[in-house]
Structure 1
Amino acid sequence: MADALTGQARVSSMGDLRKLPIEQLINDVQARLGTGFDESTMVRKRRTIGVRSDRSTWVRIEARPLDKAASQGQINNGIEASGLLDGIAKPRWHQAVSWLDELTGVIWRADECALITGPTAKPIGYPLTEPELSSDWWRTLNRSLDSLARQRVTRVATPDTEPITQALVTEAIEQAFPDQVDTTITDQRWVPAHADLNWSNLTAPDCWILDWEDLGLAPRGLDAATLWVASLLVPALADKVFRARCADLDTRSGKLMALFCCSKDLNDPQFDSAPAFEPTARHAAELVADLRR
């Protein structure tokens, strides 16, 4: 396919996939994978499209600007890398196709995985009420995250599509809390992380962890911190996350990751008016005081 989005602007100004015509792209991916799509199941996001196939699998299509891929320094996708992991409640990865569209400057990729039919624990955004999660659900989550930390991966985790580094952590925390915390990650043993562990990537009542494209090495506690910060609007839920993952969150690395996640939210000018602003700011201040000791 010469141009996945015929007649559209180059990717530098392409913007949101939810707002663009995608008929040619969908037809092309169906042909490349050799299956049809049930378009009534399609989920369109800013840079990804998900859809159920005729062979009862789930296909995730992603557009990645070439300059973004180059800045990450790693072409391989976390979903493919997750196929080598075991002991984790995740969809089985089957295959992928990828290609460069030179006219738009986009690397397109379509991953086909096992279909998980259970609903997500919470749609995109912060939960406003506590989801009903059984003790088996929490055991599955804990077993999966403990197993993940013991695996071997070579990718660097890419939370919010950015490779995580000491410099990235320092920049985010310093912007929110200048000269208040030593941001040095002293624990040099980075571990594999999902790197986007929020409630929209977890299913219930059965626990499955979805969307592994950001998988990679990260400071210990990134996943626990991501889920904890995403739960702060519901104190009982945040407490359960903390109790479940306290072995990670009680470490200095885990506290820095929690402050890193809080700081990223607090650095967003639009977050000031968000319902989660007050609990996030309060817990971030507590973390700053704790890390100074």
Structure 2
Amino acid sequence: MSAPEDKASGKLWDGALDAQHAFGDLDGHRPALLAVHDAVDDGTAYRAELSARVDQPVLSDAPILQHDLRLPESRWQELAGTLEKVSAVDTNRVAVRQQYMDRAVPEFVGIPAPAGICWATAHADVHWANLTASPVRILGREGWGRAPEGFDAATLYAYTLLEPDTAARVRAVFPVLGRPAGLAAEATVCAQLLQTVARSDNLVLEDRLRNWAEELRRR
């Protein structure tokens, strides 16, 4: 990574290093950060990070799942257990801000931002291009921090909307989805992706996201 020297800090810059301190290798479910080297040259800061090599392929070449995924029950439970461990880590880092929810949820989902939110730690970028299956490993770690309970499950569900059978499996494995406790996470993730649609990204998900938003309005 590189940045102007006076801007070489913050959530994304320190994400991998903070994650290593907080999680380690997450009992083998994330590649450990082995070394960090920092340098400054002519007003520009540079950081090089060396992580453990991951030999297993990811489950999808892109974040959005577009093929039938037949994971055995043991892998689903392994994934659920790993995300539960992530959620229990104590941190002051922030992945989702209340101010964003207050603005984006009404604008893109059409409901007030839910009140009485239970906050937990989230990886905040759980999608199919960041997951391996055997063993389950979660890649990507720069933006992790506090988010509404169920945020990682809601994110994974959103990227599964084109595959109804797998999407139903996600809901079964993460029962917070569909419950009042998960409404804030679902509404926030739905708003985030509808915002990307407004910018002409993730257009393949647009119809499914709008259906999801309608369901959230009914709830």
- CA deviation vs aligned residue, 1:142-201 (integer Å, no higher than 9, x gap): 1101111222223222xxxxxx21111122222214xx42204413x4211101001110
2:16: which partner in 1?
79
Aligned to 2:50, what secondary structure does the other structure show?
Answer: strand
What corresponds to 1:117 in structure 2?
Answer: 55
* Residues 114 and 183, structure 2, Cα contact 8 Å, conserved in 1: no
Q: Which amino acid aligns with 1:183?
A: A
- Cα offset for 1:249? 2.0
Q: TM-score, normalised by structure 1?
A: 0.65
**Is 2:4–2:45's contact at 8 Å kept on the other side of the alignment?**
yes
Q: Partner of 1:285: helix, strand, or coil?
A: helix
AA aligned opposite 1:89: H
SS state at 1:169 partner? helix
| Counterparts in 2 of 1:215 and 1:76: CA distance versus 1, 3 Å | same
Equivalent residue number for residue 153 of structure 2: 224
Partner of 1:234: 163
Paired residue type of 2:111: V
Once residues 272 and 211 of structure 1 are traced to their aligned partners in structure 2, the CA distance between those partners, rounded to angstroms, is 20
Residue correspondence of structure 1 range 1-293 to structure 2 within 5 A: 62-63=1-2, 74=11, 77-83=14-20, 84-85=22-23, 86-87=26-27, 89-100=29-40, 103=43, 107-157=45-95, 164-177=96-109, 180-187=110-117, 189-246=118-175, 248-267=176-195, 268-271=197-200, 274-290=203-219
State, as a whole percentage, how many aligned pairs show the same letter: 26
- Offset of residue 274 of structure 1: 2.1
Unaligned 5+ segments in structure 1 are: 1-61, 158-163
Asked if 1 retains the 8 angstrom alpha-carbon contact of 2:56 and 2:132, the reply is yes
RMSD: 2.5
Q: Do the aligned partners of residues 169 and 253 (structure 1) sit closer, same or farther apart at CA in structure 2, a change above 3 Å counting?
A: farther
Distance 1:67 1:250, change over 3 A: farther
User: What is the DSSP-based 3-state SS (H/G/I as helix, E as strand, rest coil) of the residue aligned with 2:137?
Assistant: coil
TM-score (normalizing by structure 2): 0.85
Contact kept, 8 Å, 1:156 with 1:218, in 2: the verdict is yes
2:132 is paired with a residue of what secondary structure? coil
Amino acid at match of 2:84: D
Take 2:37 and 2:201, find their aligned partners in 1: how far apart are those partners? Answer: 41
Structure of larger gyration radius: 1
Counterpart amino acid of residue 143 in structure 2: D
Gaps of 5+ in 2: none
**Residue pair 2:156, 2:170 contacting (<8 A) in 1 also:** yes
Q: Is the 8 A contact 1:133 1:205 kept in 2?
A: no
Answer with 230-239 or 203-212: which moved more. 203-212
Assess if the C-alpha contact under 8 Å between 1:153 and 1:216 holds in 2.
yes
Deviations along 1:55-108, one digit per CA (max 9) or x if unpaired, are xxxxxxx345678767xx5576222222232446111221212345555xx543
Describe the SS at the equivalent of 2:106.
helix
